[in-house]
Amino acid sequence: MTIADLTVRGAGIFGLSVAYACLRRGARVTVVDPNGIASGASGGIVGALAPHVPENWNPKKAFQLESLLMAEEYWTDIADRTGLKTGYLRSGRLQPIPDDDARALASSRAETAKDLWQGKAEWEITSDPGPFAPVSPTGLWIRDTLSAHLHPHRATQALARAVDSLGGKIQTHAPDGPIEVWATGTSGLADLSTELGRTVGTPIKGQAALLDHDAKGAPQLFAEALHIIPHTDGTTAIGSTTERDVTDLSTDAQLETLIDRARVAVPALAKARIIARWAGLRPKARSRAPMLGPHPGRSGIFIANGGFKIGFGMAPLIGEVMADLIFTGHDRIPDGFRVTDNL
């Protein structure tokens, strides 16, 4: 199949990335979302594109590596095509090393990274982290050169503009199409669970904050289990909580605790003013990996869901893999990523 009418339901990062990949192959694409572009988790403020640790290698980590390595060209193309800034920067990441055991583990991972990351990125121990860094009891930090970041809301808006520039339509409603991709996030997980009679995924609440602190160009930080992102617009994001018991989507005391922890971990943030607070639901599949592939009970329907914390990092490659599957039948979905892996 070379040219087809495709309906993508969901205008978050997975839906837009699939639409973009299919448009580039000549498809006629309509993206449908009654709530608008990036109305769910894709409209957040953190945007850490951080790799899993280089050990215990598996298909999920290999897929993520491939996607992170293609991200710079991907987001540069979108920015060039639209004239919109995505906030993408492969700035690397710093993590404090708390004790001797952690140092030994970091050294071991530095060796495995040389092989697993194919010489395209480094994982190293440093005593010179630069001016924007978390406190480290040992005076040592892990520095990796694979991590990157972007601004989620800005990146999705730019990707939506790129879809439009290629002739794609983005609208709030559309009739059923002959071929559809369902990339509908937490609501889609709930609908699919009901349809299949078992839970295939759950919503996980996250809270984050945006601070008025300019450290643009510095590496992102990972400290006290927090991602701390110095955005290219001169703000700094911190996040996020992971809350399985969802009662509402307001920010609360858990976010204030997160902010306090960030200020202790990174003294440069001690007096930074809070610009914005954010809370939202992130779709987590049972397998914890993205959930991709044909709907198990409906012909012509494909699923792209379960981005959870790694959706933006996985999106460039997910778009290509789904386009391959839909238009050529070539199946590159890794083990553990299939819809059936969640049944």
Cβ-based neighbour number of residue 228 at 10 Å:
31
**Whether pLDDT at 124 is above 80:** yes
C-alpha–C-alpha distance, residues 13 and 322, integer Å:
13
**Mean pLDDT of all residues in the chain?**
96
Query: What tens digit of pLDDT does each residue of 279-307 get?
Result: 999 999 999 999 999 999 999 999 999 99
**pTM of the full structure:** 0.96
* Contact present, 312 and 191 (Cβ < 8 Å): no
Write down the pLDDT at residue 3.
54
C-alpha–C-alpha distance, residues 147 and 273, integer Å:
26
C-alpha–C-alpha distance, residues 32 and 11, integer Å:
7
Q: In the chain, where do the E strands start and end? A: 5-9, 28-32, 48-49, 93-96, 123-126, 141-144, 148-149, 169-171, 180-182, 201-211, 220-223, 226-230, 236-239, 274-285, 291-294, 301-305
C-alpha–C-alpha distance, residues 116 and 88, integer Å:
24
Dihedral sign for Cα 299, 333, 283, 289, please: positive
> 6: which 2 tokens?
């495709």
Backbone angles phi, psi at 230, to 5 degrees: -85, 95
Bridge partners, residue 236, by sequence: 211, 230
- Rounded to a whole number of angstroms, the CA Rg of the chain reads 20
Q: How many CA within 13 A on the CB side of residue 14?
A: 31
Query: What tens digit of pLDDT does each residue of 191-247 get?
Result: 999 999 999 999 999 999 999 999 999 999 999 999 999 999 999 999 999 999 888
Cβ-based neighbour number of residue 178 at 10 Å:
10
* Contact present, 226 and 96 (Cβ < 8 Å): no
Write down the pLDDT at residue 171.
97
